[in-house]
Amino acid sequence: MSLTDTHGVINLIKPIGVGSTDLVAYVKRLLKVSKVGHGGTLDPFACGVLPIGINRGTKSLQSLLEGDKSYTGTAVLGMETDSLDIEGDATGWHQSFGKEHTIRTQEVLSSLMGTRLQTTPLYSARRVEGKRLYHIARNTPELQPAQLPKRQITVHDLQIQWDSDYQKFHLQVRCSKGTYIRQIVQEIAEQLGIVAYLDSLCRTEVAGLSLQNAISVAKLFEIVHKGADFSGQWFHRVQV
């Protein structure tokens, strides 16, 4: 099956453990097309919606990057890491927490809603003076939070649910582009007087592309090798 004249966006489910750019390279080899791109990076430990543009469909990716996104995730209490997520090294522990720390939950969540400035995590791919922050972090580990760049974001909806033993909380977020969910976990923890890190993350929607209408990598492989048409809800064809 030749896809050289097929233009559009694949609503693909990125599996855990694969980098976004690695997945793009895989799709490029699988489909045998010359132009492939993605609409918003997900960290390797995260999963969920990763829009993949093929051929002239790559021109549609910018509008997806500008759109709102939705996530679900789980935060683990009692330990913090340098990257604020499960991929980092432990930097501290705090075992003194329980139900009493949840009393101000709604107040804290309300304070994080709306349009505001969010500090960019030190271990991130954002560029500062031409260098990725994670490269700067390796050479300047003593960099203070006040020295980190800030970005305007909008949090439209933020909810969390505590586990019965108060060792974890599960969160749902709908937000603008550029929002770091691990930083939101850090902000919640700091205001509640606890420490936590983001243990899992799933992006459930990107600018209207939902997880319910996405396709897995395995299913995409099957369709390509069977020579089936790209006609499902997971493919958004672009007219050229």
The three-state secondary structure class of 188 is helix
The three-state secondary structure class of 77 is strand
Give 31-74 as a DSSP string: HT-S-EEESS---TT-EEEEEEEEGGGGGGHHHHHHS-EEEEEE
Catalytic residue chosen out of the listed positions 5, 22, 43, 163? 43
Q: How many H-runs (helices) and E-runs (strands) does the chain carry?
A: 6, 14
The three-state secondary structure class of 76 is strand
Q: Is 43 a catalytic residue?
A: yes
Strands 79-81 and 8-14: unpaired
Pairwise CA distance, residues 18 & 27, whole Å: 12
Catalytic site residues? 43
